[in-house]
Amino acid sequence: MAGEPQADCLFCKIVAGEVPATVVRETETTLAFRDINPQAPTHILVIPKVHHPDAASLAAAEPKIAADVLREAGEVAAEEKSESYRIVFNTGSGAGQTVFHAHAHVLGGRGLQWPPG
Ligand code: 5GP
Ligand code: ZN
């Protein structure tokens, strides 16, 4: 069921503490931890604790939690002293999504090109 933990989901396992992660912030509804393969000096993932496959389906089902994710992305960037940063929600394998549990990439700490690849 949407929102329920999924046994085969890596990020549900991180929420459950079954897979370790370097957690930088936690709220009642969200978890923020460092990406294992950072693409910038600051590369942190902000996830809802509930399972939804992507950002849009999270926003449709639980708009308050989607807002929590965005607010936490800003908090993470502020803690990292990243004045300029990028929030990315890869959606679909063609866009590079590999973990189908909604997550925001917060990227900063270096110049970021626009448009992205
Ligand atoms: P996506 O490709 O779905 O947009 O993002 C998934 C991200 O999760 C990737 O940037 C990848 O490096 C990261 N990732 C994959 N496995 C792990 C893990 O076990 N721990 C952490 N911290 N990040 C992971
Ligand atoms: Zn999940």
The tens digit of pLDDT for each residue in 12-67 reads 999 999 999 999 999 999 999 999 999 999 999 999 999 999 999 999 999 999 99
Q: What is the pLDDT of residue 117?
A: 77
Fold of 10-108: HIT family, subunit A (3.30.428)
| Ligand 1 nearest atom to the CA of residue 88, by list position | 4
104 neighbors 43 (Cβ within 8 angstroms): no
Question: Is 87 a pocket residue for ligand 1 (Cβ < 6 Å)?
Answer: no
With H, G, I as helix, E, B as strand and everything else as coil, classify residue 36. coil
Question: Is 99 a pocket residue for ligand 1 (Cβ < 6 Å)?
Answer: yes
Q: What is the pLDDT of residue 1?
A: 64
Q: What is the pLDDT of residue 33?
A: 98
Query: Does pTM surpass 0.95?
Result: yes
Angstrom distance (rounded) from CA 8 to CA 81: 35
**What residues does each domain of the chain span?**
10-108
Question: Is 35 a pocket residue for ligand 1 (Cβ < 6 Å)?
Answer: yes
